[in-house]
Amino acid sequence: MLIMSDEDELGISLPSTLNYNILDKKTSYYSDNICNNLVKDLSDYNNVFEFCEKFRGIIENFNKLSFLGQFPNDTCTVVKFWMYDRLFNLPIRGKKVNYINNIIPKIKTIIKEDDEIQGCDLFDFPYLKEDFDIMKTLYDYATNYGTIKKYIEDSTYICNKNLSNYINTNDELYINEKGKCNRSDKENIGYCKVFKYLKAPYIHENLPRLLCTVKSLETFDPMERHHELHREEGPPEILKQKHSLPFSNIIMAVIFPLLGIFFFLFILCKFTPFKSWLKSHLLKKGIIKFYEGEEYKQEYLNESYHIDGRHI
């Protein structure tokens, strides 16, 4: 049987989990006497006072509660599943509780006559943990059905392996339990009575099976995917070189042409008359410019002489 997975594993927020979180936050601040007496009555169990405070907080706000999912107005059933689940998880001498028939009478004593929970029998679920876990799993799945359906029909949502397993496991669980309770030789009448109660309003016979197709990438185990990436991309040193490769290409594209030009000029100057021609050409050009400069200076001096001579 698949226990309710965390939101991180399924990739979505499940209404059933959110509903139980709502109840976990209800605390009564006026129940110290009642809860201290319950602690004495259940002295073999741990965390009794904390459970009692929350349970009393829930009862005091019973008619104000509202929930998410397929059955937002089914306060009685949600509270019952919360209560039974918390009672089964009360540690007794370091061990988990598997049977709560000796606890239920003590819990009944902390419900007051004026508590407004008329029409809600909080104590008609199976007292055996194995039977209760099955019923809770099916009820939670029915609560979450509409939300899951909405997500997987959204083209932007990518179904993951955990959600696919959650759907398939709960579908198989429902089919198996329905078959057990349809047999004439029912081993547990009480269990099947609760199943029938849930099946009629909450888990319909014609409920279409949800299809959640996992993408090929997500079928990898996380460790396998880790090794696969290393096989494809190599060790960190190589990855680092890959990331720096584009910048290196830019540098080489600039340096190689410059080196080619220098090498070409070196060959011309070393093994051809180009060096002598260039030298004589530059020398000739320098001499011409020198004479042009001298002529310009001489012309300037002559003009200055004539001008100055006229003014004397």
Give residues with Cβ within 8 angstroms of 225, minimum separation 6. Answer: 217
Q: Please give the residue range of the domain that contains residue 245.
A: 221-258
Using alpha carbons only, what angle is made at residue 28 by residues 26 and 31, rounded to the nearest 5 degrees?
Answer: 150
Mapping DSSP onto H, E and C, the string for 259-270 reads: HHHHHHHHHHHH
Same domain, 285 and 150: no
306 and 245, same structural domain?
Answer: no
- For the stretch 201-212, what's the b/e string if a residue is b when 16 or more beta carbons lie within 10 angstroms of its beta carbon? ebbeeeeeebeb
Do 69 and 114 lie in one domain? The reply is yes
Distance between CA atoms of 215 and 200, rounded to whole angstroms? Answer: 35
Question: Do both 247 and 169 map to the same domain?
Answer: no
d(CA 28, CA 110): 12
Q: Specify whether 52 is located in the same domain as 187.
A: yes
Q: Could you tell me if 89 and 215 lie in one domain?
A: yes
Same domain, 104 and 133: yes
CA–CA gap between residue 269 and residue 63 (Å, rounded): 101
Q: Answer whether residue 43 is part of any domain.
A: yes
| Domain termination residue (choose one: 157, 192, 219) | 219
The per-residue pLDDT for 177 is 82
Query: Is residue 231, in this structure, part of any structural domain at all?
Result: yes
* 2 within domain boundaries: no
**Does residue 263 sit within a domain?**
no
Write down the H helix ranges in 42-128.
Answer: 48-60, 75-88, 104-108
Q: Are residues 164 and 289 in the same domain?
A: no
Task: Answer yes or no: do 225 and 213 share one domain.
Answer: no
State whether 193 and 72 are in the same domain: yes
Q: Tell me whether residue 1 is in a domain.
A: no
Q: Are residues 184 and 305 in the same domain?
A: no
Q: Which helix (H) or strand (E) holds 293?
A: helix 274-311
Q: Are 26 and 146 in the same domain?
A: yes
Per-residue tens of pLDDT for the chain, all 312 residues: 444 444 667 778 899 999 999 999 999 988 999 999 999 999 999 999 999 999 999 999 999 999 998 887 889 999 999 999 999 999 887 777 888 989 999 999 999 888 888 889 999 888 889 889 988 998 898 889 889 988 888 877 788 888 899 999 988 888 888 888 877 665 655 667 777 766 665 565 556 678 888 876 544 454 444 443 343 444 444 444 444 445 556 666 767 777 777 767 767 666 677 666 666 665 565 544 544 555 544 554 454 444 444 433
How far lies 268's CA from each of 242, 278, 281, 284, in Å?
A: 39, 10, 15, 20
Under 8 Å between Cβ of 1 and 134? yes
Quick check: is 144 in a domain? yes
**Distance of alpha carbon 251 from alpha carbon 20, whole angstroms:** 61
Q: Is 248 exposed, middle or buried (0-12, 13-18, 19+ CB in 10 A)?
A: exposed
**Rounded distance, CA 145 to CA 126, Å?**
24
Specify if 268 maps to a domain.
no
Tell me, yes or no, whether 265 lies in a domain. Answer: no
Query: Considering its fold, how many domains does the chain have in total?
Result: 3
